[in-house]
């Protein structure tokens, strides 16, 4: 908390250019104020970009071995401070401590280890006939990250930018700045050279827009809502900078008629409720054969009602609050809209769970008999709300799954892997998950359609931060 009043620019912790703007940090599980965050402006962004621009020429020339060593030092320091990261995310976003440790904090080392492996084997130069292809750092990068997976999103942007030889300015979400400040301390201790990494806290209109528009930033990587992503892209267009976006999702989970229904439904509920439903790629639309809908709804009801909701410092708590009042009220409105539009409320509904008078907690909610035209089938809810949708044929299931503006992820469950693969090939999504697989941190992550462009994670994530230079007439070795 001691760093919440400062930014990290040019290798130093510095005061904001103006001390007039502050943001109250609230624990969403108690609604109690836990501190204040300094909010930056365009002048702070200018300072940070200038530092990154000065540092870029030298940093671009660093060896791959030096970059690997840097990432390894970051990994070692992160692991030493692992519990601090878990506690920061428990406080700032209400992640139950067990999930904060095993889910949120664990993503940092997972992505760092994956990227180190990529960098150890990545070819930055390749000969094609008499042409030499070189992969070179894109330049100064503006990184804008969300609150829902704070460390995950920070690491999947900072780590590949460092691996590529770029320099950067980070604007984390003001709702999850504590973990970002902690990561800045890790980078400082690891010896990241001055100006290579810079951090300016702030909001979207003040700092995010200044980053997107800045003429000395060569690339913007943004993760957040589709609405905000459109604004970033429009703002960045005047300077023709590269824009990589990971935006919203409304992922379908197709349960084919040969599944073990109890297992497929229960695991689907668990996946949908991950991070209190505040994840862009989770399966929020469960597509069920019509003749199995009633049975599936009862299975889902039992699974949802078994969730333990409450104090985030208890290791037995499974479901925490939403991040803030606005998100809570939005989810309440969408739940009521689902009821009003005729979806069958199986369990949950509006209001807080019983016994919780404070905190932005939402009842684990299941709707059945949801139709594609309903609001809850079309809009990203970002809360623990599952929409169960009936279908009659496999072709109809695929049509419903693809019938959305989003295309970040999709899920298919079948006892026949070949059948699951066949359906998966028909789905318009950047990531298709067959039979609830384990996470692959080298698999490219990103979406089709209004879920964004570009990819993160592993080698695909590294390539986003590289330019291709063709040296024609180079000759052969």
CA pair distance 232, 166, nearest whole angstrom: 20
246 catalytically annotated: yes
Which tens digit of pLDDT belongs to each residue from 156-212? 999 999 999 999 999 999 999 999 999 999 999 999 999 999 999 999 999 999 999
116's tokens? 């180190």
Of 87, 92, 174, 246, which is the active-site residue? 246
CA pair distance 375, 447, nearest whole angstrom: 21
Please give the C-alpha separations between residue 206 and each of 40, 41, 83, 154, 203, in angstroms, as whole numbers. 7, 5, 32, 20, 6
Positions of the chain with pLDDT lower than 70, given as ranges: 1, 19-20, 477
Q: Do domains 7-247+451-471 and 251-441 have the same CATH topology?
A: no
Q: For residue 43, which phi and psi values (nearest 5 degrees)?
A: -65, -40
What single string gives the DSSP state of each residue in 82-122?
A: HHHHHHHHHHHH---HHHIIIIITTHHHHHHHHHHHHHHH-
Q: H helices then E strands: how many in the chain?
A: 16, 22
97's tokens? 């401590």
CA pair distance 276, 130, nearest whole angstrom: 54
Q: What is the pLDDT, as a whole number, of residue 18? A: 81
Spatial strand order of the sheet with 219-223 comes to 12-14, 7-9, 197-199, 167-171, 140-144, 219-223, 242-246, 452-453
Of 280, 380, 456, 464, which is the active-site residue? 280
CA pair distance 219, 24, nearest whole angstrom: 30
422's tokens? 């066949």
Q: What is the helix (H) or strand (E) element at residue 8, kind and residue range?
A: strand 7-9
Which distant-in-sequence residues (6+ apart) come within 8 Å of 322 by Cβ?
28, 94, 276, 278, 328, 331, 360, 361, 362, 382, 383
Which architecture does CATH list for 7-247+451-471? 3-Layer(aba) Sandwich (3.40)
Find the largest Cα–Cα distance for the chain: 74
Q: For residue 445, which phi and psi values (nearest 5 degrees)?
A: -120, 120
- The CATH label, of 1.10.8.60, 3.40.309.10, 3.10.310.30, 3.40.1710.10, for the domain at 251-441 is 3.40.309.10
Q: Give domain limits for the chain.
A: 7-247+451-471, 251-441
Which tens digit of pLDDT belongs to each residue from 419-439? 999 999 999 999 999 999 999
CA pair distance 315, 312, nearest whole angstrom: 8
């Amino acid at each position: 908390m001691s760093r919440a009043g400062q930014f990290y620019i040019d290798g130093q912790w510095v005061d904001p250019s103006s001390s007039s703007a502050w943001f109250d940090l609230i624990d969403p599980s108690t609604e109690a104020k836990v501190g204040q965050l300094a909010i930056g402006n365009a002048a702070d962004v200018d300072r940070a970009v200038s530092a990154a621009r000065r540092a870029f020429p030298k940093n671009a020339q660093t060896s791959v071995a030096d970059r690997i060593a840097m990432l390894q030092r970051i990994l070692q320091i992160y692991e030493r401070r692992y519990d601090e990261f878990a506690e920061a995310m428990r406080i700032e976003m209400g992640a139950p401590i067990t999930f904060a440790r095993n889910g949120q904090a664990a993503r940092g080392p997972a992505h760092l280890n994956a990227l180190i492996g990529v960098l150890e084997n990545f070819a930055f130069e390749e000969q094609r006939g008499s042409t030499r292809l070189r992969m070179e750092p894109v330049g100064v990068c503006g990184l804008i990250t969300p609150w829902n997976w704070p460390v995950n999103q920070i690491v999947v942007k900072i780590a590949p930018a460092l691996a590529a030889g770029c320099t950067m300015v980070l604007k984390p979400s003001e709702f999850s700045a504590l973990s970002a400040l902690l990561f800045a301390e890790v980078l400082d201790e690891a010896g990241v050279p001055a100006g290579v990494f810079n951090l300016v806290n702030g909001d979207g209109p003040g700092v995010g827009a200044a980053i997107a528009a800045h003429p000395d930033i060569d690339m913007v990587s943004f993760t957040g809502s589709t609405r905000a992503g459109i604004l970033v892209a429009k703002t960045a267009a005047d300077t023709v900078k590269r824009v990589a976006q990971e935006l919203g999702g409304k992922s379908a989970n197709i349960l084919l008629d040969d599944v073990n229904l109890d297992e497929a439904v229960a695991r689907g509920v668990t996946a949908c409720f991950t991070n209190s439903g505040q994840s862009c790629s989770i399966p929020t639309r469960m597509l069920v054969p019509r003749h199995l809908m009633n049975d599936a709804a009862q299975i889902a009801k039992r699974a949802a009602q078994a969730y333990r909701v409450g104090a985030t410092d208890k290791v037995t708590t499974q479901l925490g609050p939403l991040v803030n009042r606005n998100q809570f009220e939005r989810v309440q409105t969408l739940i009521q809209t689902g009821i009003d539009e005729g979806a069958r409320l199986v369990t949950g509904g509006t209001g807080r769970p019983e016994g919780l008078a404070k905190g932005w907690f939402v009842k684990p909610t299941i709707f059945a008999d949801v139709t594609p035209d309903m609001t809850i089938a079309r809009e990203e809810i970002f809360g623990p709300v599952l929409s169960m949708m009936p279908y009659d044929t496999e072709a109809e299931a695929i049509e419903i799954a693809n019938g959305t503006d989003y295309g970040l992820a999709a899920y298919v469950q079948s006892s026949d892997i070949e059948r699951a693969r066949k359906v998966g090939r028909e789905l318009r999504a950047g990531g298709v998950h067959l039979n609830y697989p384990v996470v692959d941190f080298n698999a490219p992550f990103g979406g089709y359609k209004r879920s964004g462009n570009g990819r993160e994670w592993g080698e695909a994530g590294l390539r986003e931060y590289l330019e291709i230079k063709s040296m024609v007439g180079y000759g052969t070795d």
